[in-house]
Structure 1
Amino acid sequence: MSEKPSQQQQQLAKFIENYSGQDGVQPTSIPSLFLIRESTISEPISRVNEPSFCMILQGEKEVLLGEERFLYGPGQYIVASVNLPVTGQVTKASTESPYLALKLELTPTDIVEMINETDLPYNQEKKSKRAMYVSSAEPSLLDAVLRLADLLEVPKHIPTLAPLIKKEIIYWILQGPHGEALKQIAVEGSNGSKIRKVIDHIIKNYIEPFRIEDLAEIANMSVSTLHRHFKEVTAMSPIQFQKQLRLQEARRLLLAGSTDVAEIAFRVGYESQSQFSREYARMFGFSPRVDINRFKEKHVNE
């Protein structure tokens, strides 16, 4: 990450700096494309990371998936091929040299169309791969991303050209060293696509307890096979996955103004407030009440 940035990286960084104008995630007139700028090192933020491609042009970021840590910086990108509960933190940023990145949201349909159009081979019986990975951007990928961003300067071309360039970006990602991780989620009948269905079910019903046998039935797998593939894809077990979803939603509700810890614990599916508080502190580093007070003090001082 200390290598000198390429001309393409420099152009993209300058473009994001000029176009965003302020900190935060900025939507653009290109559907599914977002520009990101942060001038300070952030606190860890937990959320569900949707399927996406995110490239850093300046600064650094750390993402935690279960116990796995991903650190990436200029000229690198991170891909998430399914919805994943993660904790992310900008680790290198300043007013003089802000964190600059862009994100392109992806759908299984986007990926399937590209696979079908190019006849990219895929072995459905392959071992499942992690649904999140970091890779270095090749010049061909950087060139496509730069051309997509440039369309923001000529909006009349966006409806026609943006979908084509997005397809090209997906093509280069699929051609990359970790392309199989993206293919596995989109190809119907693959182990990865079966796990995606289980993930979607847990996310939609995260408050409710589940039987592992029911999840195995959704995936059309044995219980042991489901456990193995689910952990290969998400870096955690189905129960751990559900727990992260519950705790993330609980924290969102608490920091949004709800102060009744017992009520929040119940709302996200916990029957025991003490268990909820223990697991909350283990994930976020503070008990729910301490976390609420920290958040209030921070905003009072700002």
Structure 2
Amino acid sequence: MNEKLKQQLAKTAKTLCEYYGIADQTNRVHTLLPGVRIFRIDRYHRLTPQMYEQGIVIIFQGNKIGHLNQHQFGYDVERCLIVTTPYPISFETFASPETPLMGINIDLDINVIRELVSIMQSEHPYWKTEDTRCGVATSQMTEAMYLCMLELLSILHNPLDTKVLGTALLRRFFYYLLQSDQGYLLAHYCEQDSSLAKIASVLSFIQGNYAQKLNVNDLAEMAGMSVSVFHKVFKQVVTDPPLQYIKKIRLNHAKNHMLQEGLAANLAAQRVGYESAAQFSREFKRYFGVPPSRIDENAGFISKSNNGYMK
């Protein structure tokens, strides 16, 4: 991508942050287009675990380095982040008041993506890659993708333009992304019989029921797999075994309850399904690096307006 286009994107993103009232703060807010949020971060954040929702993250200024167990990856103005299943990911954020990180989150529209996959498959034999790979990846942004994003940013301050043109621009972006080096992730996400889609369905169930007692045998049955195959595929896609993933989900939700609602650690522990406050405290400190009583030191980019989720 040429420097002139980079500058245009950063300038337009800055204008949009001003329009949505986040020009002088770290925050993430909904735009006029459903499924699209704009965010701004104005300071460095050390490596911090956060929950990442399903979707695409595109940065127009700044960069991040992520750690997902054995995987390490960075994304910036050259590479976007694709998340096909909800993950607790540790990211180091590089930003400052003078050079804030700015970007947008785009929710995955499974119906649009599925339709595009069907059309593209009828023309060319796409996406023969094995689908039991990690469900999060970064993808190289092309000039066509960034020109599409520049058009999108340029209309998000105008309600009528957004209503008339926004959905079509998102559809065009998904089409370009399906043609990228990681397009197979979106394709497999939409295929009901793919391993990725089956695990994604299980993860959605876990997200809605994490405070309950969850049995791995039941989760394997839900995925239509034997327990041994489920363990293998789950770890390939998520990079954690099922019980470890569930624990991370509970700890992240507990952290959000404490930060957003001011819950005491023992109450937050009960809310997410822990029976032992002592066990919760040990596992919390091991995961976040600080005890629950000092959680503000490890808050990361979380605010009440973004529901405690980070991208």
TM score, norm. by length of structure 1: 0.87
Q: CA deviation at 1:103?
A: 1.8
Q: Which amino acid aligns with 2:54?
A: P
Q: CA deviation at 1:67?
A: 4.8
Secondary structure in structure 1 of the residue aligned to 2:39: strand
Aligned to 1:80: 83
- CA contact 1:129–1:180 (8 Å) conserved in 2: no
Identity of aligned residues (%): 28
Secondary structure in structure 1 of the residue aligned to 2:99: coil
Q: Which amino acid aligns with 2:282?
A: R
1:257 aligns with one of 249, 254, 262: 262
Question: How many residues were matched structurally?
Answer: 290
CA distance in 1, matches of 2:146, 2:231: 37
Secondary structure in structure 2 of the residue aligned to 1:97: coil
- CA contact 1:16–1:36 (8 Å) conserved in 2: no
TM score, norm. by length of structure 2: 0.85
- CA contact 2:288–2:298 (8 Å) conserved in 1: no
Closer, same or farther in 2 for the Cα pair 1:11/1:130, shift >3 Å?
same
Q: Which amino acid aligns with 2:228?
A: S
Which portions of structure 1, spanning 4 or more consecutive aligned residues, are displaced by more than 4 angstroms? Answer: 43-46, 120-125, 292-295
- CA contact 1:80–1:131 (8 Å) conserved in 2: yes
Aligned to 1:58: 61
Per-residue CA deviation, residues 166-185 of structure 1 (Å, 9 max, x unaligned), is 11111111111111112111
Q: Is 1:218 matched with 2:204?
A: no
Structure 1: which 5+ residue stretches go unaligned? Answer: 296-302
Q: Is 1:110 matched with 2:112?
A: yes
Q: CA deviation at 1:144?
A: 1.2
Aligned to 1:279: 283
CA distance in 2, matches of 1:49, 1:93: 19
Instruction: Name the stretch that deviates more: 234-243 or 156-165.
Output: 156-165
1:229 aligns with one of 222, 233, 250: 233
Aligned to 1:155: 159
Secondary structure in structure 1 of the residue aligned to 2:210: coil
1:11 aligns with one of 8, 13, 20: 8
Per-residue CA deviation, residues 268-296 of structure 1 (Å, 9 max, x unaligned), is 1122222211110111101112336887x
1:188 aligns with one of 182, 187, 192: 192
Structure 2: which 5+ residue stretches go unaligned? Answer: 300-311
Aligned to 1:68: 71
Q: CA deviation at 1:51?
A: 1.5
Q: Which amino acid aligns with 2:115?
A: E
- RMSD over aligned CA atoms reads 2.3
CA distance in 1, matches of 2:111, 2:247: 29
Q: Is 1:25 matched with 2:28?
A: yes
Q: Which amino acid aligns with 2:248?
A: Q
Secondary structure in structure 2 of the residue aligned to 1:128: coil
1:28-39 alignment runs, 5 A limit: 28-39=31-42
